[in-house]
Amino acid sequence: METLLERFIRYCKMNTRSNESSTTVPSTQSQVEFAEMLVKDLKECGFSEVELNRSNGFVTATIPSNVDYPVDTIGFIAHFDTADFNSENIQPQIVENYDGSDLVLNKELNKVLDNKTFPNLKNYVGHTLITTDGTTLLGADDKAGLVEIVHAMIYLLAHPEVKHGEIRVAFGPDEEIGRGANLFDAPNFRAKFAYTLDGSKIGELEYESFNAAKAVVELSGVSVHPGTAKNQMINCAKLAFEFDSLLPQNEVPEHTEKYEGFYLLHDLKTEIDHGTMTYIIRDHDKENFLARKQTFVDNVDYLNNKYKAERFKLTLSDSYYNMKEVIEKDMKCVDLAKKAMENLGITPIIKPIRGGTDGSKISFMGIPTPNIFTGAENYHGPFEFASLNDMNKAVETIVEIIRLNTEV
């Protein structure tokens, strides 16, 4: 069997970047190829019921119970797509016994993982780190979580003395573009509760996520020759600036933290006579979330009345909701994970996710699904890295959750 490190590097080297503009499921052929490879790997490792659902892109498998009494079925979930950053020719680099110094990822490009910019590095002295070569992302989001789940299951198969109920695993596509879990087959997953392995630093345990929406504002202007434009031209770039100025300028990602919500102008494309603004709206509090969406409605109405024409057209669509609404009704899954970490000498860091996971959607499908750490940081770019030490701790945490579940 491959070691955790070997499997992680092999999986990271495979380009599985998702594509928001695609209409296929999964959104890229490379994800299909990865899923097919994963099916083969899981069968070779001894998993049961290994299946690739061609309609939703998920690979699912089972570790059968080895106890003769009823135990809740637990699920473990990770995604195999990566974010919208260069994913071609990923070349992971291994740093053994990290000494705390700045890490030169790419001398030619002057890409340095430095302590001043990334003070979190101080937490990893003595660890084995896996980094990028400075030109791509690493893909630890979420291949770290994926291989941790796989190796926890391999451990259980090799150690039948560890008592466990039925374990279900699922590995899916397109989480990074916000639609991976939309087609998840929750009824046939059979889990009473589940966990996504999609967090970051060791100890993270998250059961609160944002409520999330997407707002698309289409702009309609008037293009005429600039030499004769007085009282005629309506420039959509200017309309965009005007619309954005009506939003609270301090309620943006770069000025918010913890439970504070935000508006993010994610994409802006304009010509003089037409344009599109794409925003994401986030808030943990449901009432505040609804109020943020209403702000968009009110601002569009205000500006259209001002211009006495439909210069602004709004389309709002919800993306996911705060999974706390579901999980707080039965905190067993959170309590199990917290106790497992404490048993292993890990201090649980219980905090809200400033984003969402597949668990945000799967929780509302009837399977409470909090999120736990993977041991990787700086996701979605060239400074991404993973700690092999903490990845092993994630494997141990999974096994301990499973073991504790037989005692409840």
Q: Which structural domains are found in the chain, ordered by start?
A: 4-209+322-405 (3.40.630.10), 211-320 (3.30.70.360)
Distance between CA atoms of 4 and 71, rounded to whole angstroms? Answer: 28
The count of other CB atoms within 10 Å of the CB of residue 224 is: 13
What's the sign of the alpha-carbon dihedral 36, 40, 46, 50?
positive
Q: Spell out the long-range contacts of 227-234 with Cβ–Cβ below 8 A and sequence spacing 24 or more.
A: 233/272, 234/273, 234/307, 234/311
Q: Give the residues across from 234 on adjacent strands.
A: 222
Among 100, 108, 11, residue whose Cα is nearest residue 59: 11
Question: Taking Cα atoms as reference points, which of 149, 204, 195, 196 lies closest to residue 175?
Answer: 196
Tokens of 171: 């590995």
What is the model's pLDDT at position 77? 98
Strand order in the sheet with 376-377: 93-95, 129-131, 385-387, 376-377
Q: What is the pLDDT along the chain (408 residues), one digit of tens a residue?
A: 789 999 999 999 999 999 999 999 999 999 999 999 999 999 999 999 999 999 999 999 999 999 999 999 999 999 999 999 999 999 999 999 999 999 999 999 999 999 999 999 999 999 999 999 999 999 999 999 999 999 999 999 999 999 999 999 999 999 999 898 999 999 999 999 999 999 999 999 999 999 999 999 999 999 999 999 999 999 999 999 999 999 999 999 999 999 999 999 999 999 999 999 999 999 999 999 999 999 999 999 999 999 999 999 999 999 999 999 999 999 999 999 999 999 999 999 999 999 878 999 999 999 999 999 999 999 999 999 999 999 999 999 999 999 999 996
pLDDT at 25: 96
Looking at residue 356, its pLDDT comes to: 79
Q: Can you give the pTM of this predicted structure? A: 0.92
To the query of whether residue 133 is one of the catalytic residues in this protein, the response is no
- pLDDT at residue number 408: 65
Sign of the Cα pseudo-torsion (113, 115, 119, 121, in order): positive
Q: What is the CA radius of gyration of the chain?
A: 23
| Among candidate residues 198, 200, 195, 155, the one with its CA nearest the CA of residue 395 | 155
What CA–CA distances, in Å, run from 363 to 48, 321, 325? 25, 9, 9
In a 3-state reduction of DSSP, which class is residue 336? helix
Q: From the candidates 81, 176, 384, 400, which is the catalytic residue?
A: 81
Closest to 310 measured CA to CA, from 383, 221, 396: 221
pLDDT at 178: 87
Please give the pLDDT value at position 357: 83
- Active-site position among 148, 166, 175, 396: 175
Tokens in use for 268? Answer: 């802006």
Give the Cα separation of 64 and 74 in Å (integer): 11
Is 81 catalytic? The answer is yes
pLDDT for res 251: 98
